[in-house]
Structure 1
Amino acid sequence: MTACPLGHGARVLPADSMPTQPSALFARWRDADALVPLDFRDGHEGLLVTRYDEAKEVLSDRRFSQQPQRMPRSDAQLDDGFPGGPLDDAGALAVASTNILGLDGEEHRRLRKAVTGRFSVRAGRTHRPRIAEIVAEELENLIAAGPVADLLEHFAEPISIRVHALVLGVSDDLVDRYAQCFVHGAPPQDRHDLLREAIEVRRADPGEDVISDLLANDDLSAAEVEGLLHMLSMSGRDTVAFMISTGTVALLDSAEQYRTLVADPDLVPGAVEEIVRFCTMFLTVFPRTATEDVEIADRTIAAGTTVSVSTVSANRDERRFEDPDAFDVRRDARGHVAFGHGPHGCIGQQVARVELDEAFRALVTRLPGLQLVSTGQHEPSPLANPVATYAARPVLVTGWER
């Protein structure tokens, strides 16, 4: 690995980042170089990708492997929100064998292909009417919880969990328990047992959903069906809840931006792209390790070097986005990397876009006078995962009559 212009001292992710305001260190690192040193928790010294073009290059280059899964060091507090505990042997094997986030090559493509159909653009359109109904119901629940209510607890999280259950095929009678397990936290064995129950319901009564597709796929073992459902239940749902709540903070921090959408709700689809760019959840995505020497940004990354991409930093790169620290719902923010990029890009991003579109459209049309009371999003955020994602915090809002 050629010399870094910042010297050889490795760095850790800073603790002063906020969901709408990343640490100033990211900008300084980005100004200095596209690749800066980064310490990993196992003692390995690797690199952090700070700029947009290089981020896309690394994320799309198959010479970077998901293994080993080294996690970056950080000064931030870790708050993953889920209790620990063991899984039975069959559950542990199922989870280990289907960790798409840790697989490469043909095995990754085979397992990913088994689930992508239900998360396509077409699938998002198919689900939109029901998603709109869910959003409308949860908006009424938010209003009923007022006159001051937590938008995360009473709107964003219920939408995310109910839509997740809808797409996966978790039956209606299990949704409340599903929410208890995957939002409020339950021991791993309880979560896995619930997923097994959801599978058996769909085995007896197949539908147009992920679980039914997995069960009908002769290429998958019973363990792989369990493991894929576990992976999907643990992924994406928290991202949607975070984006609804944090996006609302961004809009209300600049009241003019919210009023712009109130005046013209047709701007919401474009605003969603700006929201996910500006409020990117992942300080870093799952790191990659070079399987051979790779040339990036006129530098040689030696085989065995772990590279972690900061999508937060890449989405604030002034080389790609003009005045990137400004939040502008009229900006064309398409092309951001908030959902990742390349073969490991977010599976559920198209359905997520529909959820966000319906959620923000409902807010600006139904609650034009919405106001921010207070939020933990204005404080440095703990990490929700060792990979370095922001944890969603309460967002207290008001501005309606009960």
Structure 2
Amino acid sequence: MSGCPLGHGSSTLPADSMPTRPSPQLRRWRQEAPLVPLSYRDGHEGLMVTRYDEAKAVLGDPRFSQQPQRMPRSDAEIEEGVPPGPLDEAGVLATDSTNILGLDGAAHLRLRRAVTRRFSARASRLRRPAVAAIVADQLEVLIDAGPGADLLALYAEPISIRVHALVLGVADHLLERYARDYVHGAPRQQQHDLLREAIDHRRETPGEDVISDLLADDDLSDVEVEGLLHMLSMSGRDTIAYMISTGTVALLDEPGQYRLLVEDPERVPAAVEEIVRFCTMFVTLFPRTATEPITIGDVLVEEGTTVSVSAVSANRDERRFEDPDRIDVLRDARGHLAFGDGPHGCVGQQLARVELDEAFRALVTRLPGLRLVSTEQHQPGPLAHPVATYAARPVIVSW
């Protein structure tokens, strides 16, 4: 790891980070070096990328493998994120065979292509009317609850799960159970049993959705269909709930920012890019391992070294974004790494943009006087996953 000025010892992720106020330690590391030593939970000593250009380079370089998946050590409490309980043999095989985040090259591309059709920019635009209807419905629920309502529980999470179910093809009669199992958590076997019901329903009544596409793909086995559906159910949805709730906190912490969108809702699509930059969820993305010696910036990463990209730090790199610790909805924030980058960039990011656009547009249009009462987002809390992501917390609002 030559060229690294912090080679005197490794570090763990700090415990004092908050979704809109990352730990000052990240800034200090970023100022000192583009890659800093990072300790992993298995005892491995690797590196964390702190700066934007180097982050882009790592995420786009196929010489970095997704295996082995070593998770970073953190001083913060970590919610493991794995539903408890045993899982039958078919379920184990399904999850083991379709871990897109752990695959490289052709194996990764094959499975990724199987799910991308319903998440393309065009498909996401076609979903906009349905997404808008879901958003409008949930906004009425929030308003009916009256001032002092939890935006996360009554607005952000229901939008995220209902749109997720719509696009995946989970039938309406399964929606309540789907929300219970995947928002609030359930034993793994219960989650897989539900997905099998959803798959069986689409065998009989195919539609314009992911499950129907997977079932029609002759290249996929039944096990792979179940595994891909579980992987999609466990990822992406929580990001939307987090971004709606945390983005609202960020806008209301700076009232002038929310007011700019109230005065001109047509600014919302561009503002979404700034919101996700400022409220980036991934303290570190899923780790990569160098398959050969690779030079990143002025640092030589030795073969076998694990490298974690800090999307939070990269998106606040002063070299890429001026005054990065301030949210500015008039900023051109395109190019941020909130959705990752390269071949493993978020497959659902175009749909996410539609959801966030509609969610924030509805808020600024219907609730111009929205204000923040309280939120746990203003205090450090447990990380939501061992890979190191912020967790959504209650956001109490009034109007």
Partner of 2:117: 117
Partner of 2:348: 348
CA-to-aligned-CA distance 1:331-375 (integer Å, 9 cap, x gap): 000000000000000010000000000000000000001010000
Partner of 1:206: 206
- What is the identity, as a one-letter code, of the residue corresponding to 1:176? E
Length-normalised TM-score, structure 1: 0.98
Length-normalised TM-score, structure 2: 0.99
**Which piece of structure 1 moves more, 140-149 or 362-371?**
140-149
Question: What are the ranges of 5 or more consecutive residues in structure 2 without an aligned counterpart?
Answer: none
Once the two structures are superposed, the pairs formed by residues 3-402 of structure 1 within 5 Å of their partners are 3-80=3-80, 83-399=83-399
1:148 offset after TM fit, Å? 1.0
CA-to-aligned-CA distance 1:271-310 (integer Å, 9 cap, x gap): 1000000000000000000000101112211000000000
Counterparts of 1:367 and 1:91, CA distance in 2: 44
1:197 offset after TM fit, Å? 0.3
CA-to-aligned-CA distance 1:67-101 (integer Å, 9 cap, x gap): 00000000011124664111101100010000000
Report how many residues are paired: 399
1:147 offset after TM fit, Å? 2.1
1:249 offset after TM fit, Å? 0.1
1:137 offset after TM fit, Å? 0.2
- What is the identity, as a one-letter code, of the residue corresponding to 1:275? I
**Which piece of structure 1 moves more, 295-304 or 1-10?**
1-10
What is the Cα-based RMSD across aligned positions, in Å?
Answer: 0.8
Equivalent residues of 1:82, 1:186 under 8 A apart = no
SS at 1:390 equivalent: coil
% identical equivalent positions:
74
Counterparts of 1:99 and 1:331, CA distance in 2: 36
SS at 2:225 equivalent: helix
Counterparts of 2:172 and 2:82, CA distance in 1: 23
SS at 1:369 equivalent: coil
Equivalent residues of 1:138, 1:158 under 8 A apart = yes
SS at 1:79 equivalent: coil
CA-to-aligned-CA distance 1:55-77 (integer Å, 9 cap, x gap): 01000000000000000000011
Counterparts of 2:262 and 2:299, CA distance in 1: 48
1:7 offset after TM fit, Å? 3.2
1:382 offset after TM fit, Å? 1.1
SS at 1:389 equivalent: coil
Equivalent residues of 1:151, 1:397 under 8 A apart = yes
Question: What are the ranges of 5 or more consecutive residues in structure 1 without an aligned counterpart?
Answer: none
Counterparts of 2:389 and 2:381, CA distance in 1: 9
1:8 offset after TM fit, Å? 2.3
